Chain A
Amino acid sequence: MTRLWSAGRLTYLALAVTALMSIFPIYWMFVVASRTSDAMGQVPPPLTPGGNLGANIARLFTNTDAYFLTGLVNSAIVAGTVTVSVVFFSTLAGFAFAKLRFRGRNALLLVIVATMMVPTQLGVIPLYLLMTKLNWNDRLPAVIVPALVTGFGVFMMRQYAGQAVSTELIEAARMDGCNTARIYWNVVLPALRPAAAVLGLLTFMTTWNDFLWPYAVLNDPENPTVQLSLRALSDGYYQDMSQVFTGTAIATLPLLLVFVAFGRQIIGGIMEGAVKA
């Protein structure tokens, strides 16, 4: 029996190979990003970083096809706003669904779960028409506003609030004269903090990473998100691959930093969500 759970050398070898294959494309991205463009044609391909990163960054940020700096700033604005909003509204609604009694609660929760199953593609065209009407095309609100709430977030917070927030504590606070808003702020929100952090991280990453909808609605090449800058770079006719890879590396860097800092929580969140599903 112990044999079944022990990890032999083969286990470690298999895991090491998997880990290597997971990390290699990212590592190689940074290798090419720090070299000159002829690194691409070399045989065998270079596997260590070079010293050209600074020059590549300089070229990238002055490239008028990509508007890379604008893209970075835009993505930071979009992902930041969306994250704060999703966390706030999800904890609020999750608290209401888990701990407050009101008419139609179960039916409304069912609606929220149902919204999680609808593919985004289905709404892209009318959303585009709506943005045209609102005159938001090519502007950031077009990307931000539709993402301000998610069914996933509400559902996740509802599940977590059910077990993490004690009903006695809420009742005690009510006895002491707290109104519901005060209870949310002083009792519920602190108790939800761990799950809210995971939701925030996941939301930030998804939003930073989003491509389809920004690609549809932000057509002005001078006002892209960072992912759209990458598209402009890779669709260009020049083959300045080290510059393109500098772009992909910088666009990936925030996600990697978040992951290095909070990887444990993210893994915990994914695994916990899986058991409940």
Chain B
Amino acid sequence: MAVQLDARPPVAPAPGTTRPSRGVRLSRFDTRYSPYLYIAPFFLLFGVFGIYPLAYTFWVSLHDWDLLGADHPFVGLDNYSELLADPDFWHSVVNTLGIFVISTVPQLLLALWLANLLNRRLRARTTWRMAVLIPNVTSTAAVAIVFAVLFGRDFGMINWLLDHVGVDAIDWKANRLASWVAISAMVDWRWTGYNALIFLAAMQAIPRDLYESAAIDGAGRARQFWSITVPLLKPTIIFAVIISTIGGLQLFTEPRLFNSGTNAIRGGPLRESQTVTMYMFENAFAPHYNFGYGSAIAWLLFALIAVVAAVNVLLLRRLGGGARKEDPR
């Protein structure tokens, strides 16, 4: 309301009937060029700190580029071919994909289920939504440290709980698969509620009479969920899968801080939980400072993300194809 008052100054100078002079020319200049002025900061800053580094990464990856070396000889695709034959690199790719699969699949299924719960008529709606979102607004670094302790071998609470159901202590950090599970648990803890809210938003957009007519046709709750909710949520599910893919394949903070001490950037003494981004850091920064090799890893990571995202979308299209035919619409 105050807006309108402000926007209409009482003494507006009448647009010049006598002189179409400076003022008019100025305002014409204003309407034509000021939009560029408003978007310029983004493009300037992003150009220097976003686009330029991107292209430059590729340039650096074609060189033997050492921190200490005075010159950086051009080596073409040598870094890439070396990388493709590097077992440690492939080890980190397998780790990344393993953690990604173990974390994303249960995460999205749980989120769907949770969204379905939150979509019911609830008392204290906002409180429940906040409760499931709270892990997402904590400090990743802090949580990774806390989970590293929870998953401790000797005094960790998880092993203590497992002991009660007769499971022997698991060395979460020294066992490759176990470390994947522990890191996935952190990722799921953080992101399940966030995805649930995204799904919930999409669920609320589904018209309820669809469910009513399905119920009249005799469809039960489970049937309605799989035949109405899931197919109609497909675009949102694809969106969530892509976001999780990009985030999951870039995983760094959680595995880096899950490990501590001298081998931290290697993800443990035998690289049990080293992700691709960690491997990039190990090569590009301390201890190796090999920028060329590190840049090549960055580009292959980008390619990996693109491939996995594309595969996901194709798979989801397929899956949805069957369900859509049953869509009562």
Residues of A within 8 A of B (CB): 1, 3-7, 11, 14-15, 18-19, 21-23, 25-26, 28-29, 32, 40-41, 43-45, 89, 92-93, 95-97, 100-102, 105, 108, 111-112, 115, 117-130, 145-146, 148-149, 151, 154, 169, 172-181, 183-184, 186-187, 190-191, 205, 208-209, 211-212, 215-216, 219, 226-227, 230-231, 233-235, 237, 241, 244-245, 247-249, 251-252, 255-256, 258-259, 263-264, 266-267, 270-272, 274-275, 277
CA A115 to CA B261, docked complex, whole Å: 36
Shortest A95–chain B CB gap in Å is 7
* In contact, B291 and A129 (Cβ under 8 angstroms): yes
Q: Describe A's contact surface by its main secondary structure.
A: helix
Given the known interface contacts A95-B38, A145-B49, the answer about A5 and B239 at a Cβ–Cβ threshold of 8 Å is no
Task: State whether B285 touches A180 (Cβ < 8 A).
Answer: no
Q: CB-defined interface of B142-173 with A at 8 Å, one 1/0 digit per residue?
A: 11011111100001010010000000000000
Contact call B45/A19, Cβ cutoff below 8 A: no
Q: Which residues of B contact A (CB under 8 A)?
A: 2-4, 6-9, 12-13, 15, 26-27, 30-32, 34-36, 38-39, 41-43, 45-46, 49-54, 56-57, 60, 114, 117-123, 126, 128-135, 137-143, 145-150, 155, 157, 160, 189, 193-194, 197-198, 200-202, 205, 208, 211-212, 215, 221, 224, 236, 239, 246, 250, 252-253, 256-257, 260-261, 264, 277, 280-281, 284-286, 291, 294-295, 298-299, 301-302, 305
Chain B residue at minimum C-beta to C-beta distance from A228: B141
What total count of A-B pairs have CB within 8 Å?
A: 319
Chain A residues with CB below 8 A from B42, complex form: 89, 93, 112, 149, 151, 154
5 A–B pairs (Cβ distance < 8 Å), ordered by A: A26-B135, A121-B277, A149-B46, A180-B34, A212-B252
B264 partner residues in chain A, CB cutoff 8 A: 235
Chain A nearest CB from B158 CB (Å) reads: 11
Separation of A263 and B130 alpha carbons in the complex (Å): 6
**Chain B residues, CB < 8 A from A219:** 286
The answer to whether residues A96 and B38 also contact, given A121-B298, A145-B49 and a CB cut-off of 8 A, is yes
Q: B302's contact among A108, A119, A180, A267, by CB below 8 Å, is which? A: A119
Q: Which residues of A contact B155 (CB under 8 A)?
A: 40-41
